Chain A
Amino acid sequence: NAGVTQTPKFQVLKTGQSMTLQCAQDMNHEYMSWYRQDPGMGLRLIHYSVGAGITDQGEVPNGYNVSRSTTEDFPLRLLSAAPSQTSVYFCASRPTGAGPNQPQHFGDGTRLSIL
């Protein structure tokens, strides 16, 4: 079982560049989400999706776009990278409607540095 797969694991960008962080899950989970982890801040929700074609903003959505064309994939796009977006990004998935006792499954993260 692959679970939640994130690519790339590491990336260095220059300010102003754009890129897409990939996230794929093979568990047929409806709910997917993106978090960023910064020192002393815990994990903060960027965007989430409750199913294909449906996305919504989380706590810190500015500078990021998402789309959900399939159940399996939930890419995160940085439109114009800024140093403040240097962080570790985690993708997670879980079945919807199952209640919070069905915990989220996380990928291993993408470490992104913006110079």
Chain B
Amino acid sequence: DQQVKQNSPSLSVQEGRISILNCDYTNSMFDYFLWYKKYPAEGPTFLISISSIKDKNEDGRFTVFLNKSAKHLSLHIVPSQPGDSAVYFCAPTNFGNEKLTFGTGTRLTIIP
């Protein structure tokens, strides 16, 4: 029972273009959504989050969009840079619940 799916295991994008990473979830109780970035041989690091009361949150080159009715969120990176090459995980949760449910991850490769 995969509650959180990232249907693209990998994505390649030219440097300077937009990267769009998608995440779908089934549990309507999720009300807070986080994105983590992971480099090889390192632990995941927090990137950006969004609350269910919003539909968009921006932080520099990173923007997360939430469509609650479709149970879908996406992470936009623009412009993409070589240092963005990593695996990205979406991780929905509930406010007040300490547990995270991680998606399967998308490996993003930025082509110089």
Contact = CB atoms under 8 A, between A and B. Distances in A.
B98 A99 contact: no
Given A41-B104, A42-B103, A100 B93 contact: yes
A77 interface: no
B45 interface: yes
B110 to A, nearest CB: 22
A74 interface: no
Contact of B99 (A40, A58, A108): A58
B4 interface: yes
A100 B34 contact: yes
Contacts of B70: none
Given A100-B32, A101-B32, A101-B49, A106 B43 contact: yes
A4 B42 CA distance: 12
B58 to A, nearest CB: 15
Contact of B95 (A90, A96, A99, A107): A99
B41 A48 contact: no
Interface residues of B, number: 27
Main SS of the interface on chain B?
Answer: loop
A104 B42 contact: no
A66 interface: no
Contacts of A99: 32, 95-96
Contacts of A43: 44, 89, 100, 102
A104 B100 contact: yes
21 contacts: A33-B99, A35-B102, A40-B104, A42-B89, A42-B105, A43-B44, A43-B89, A44-B102, A45-B99, A48-B98, A48-B99, A58-B99, A90-B44, A99-B32, A99-B95, A100-B94, A100-B95, A101-B51, A103-B49, A106-B45, A109-B41
Interface of B: 4, 6, 9, 32, 34, 36, 41-46, 49, 51, 89, 93-100, 102-105
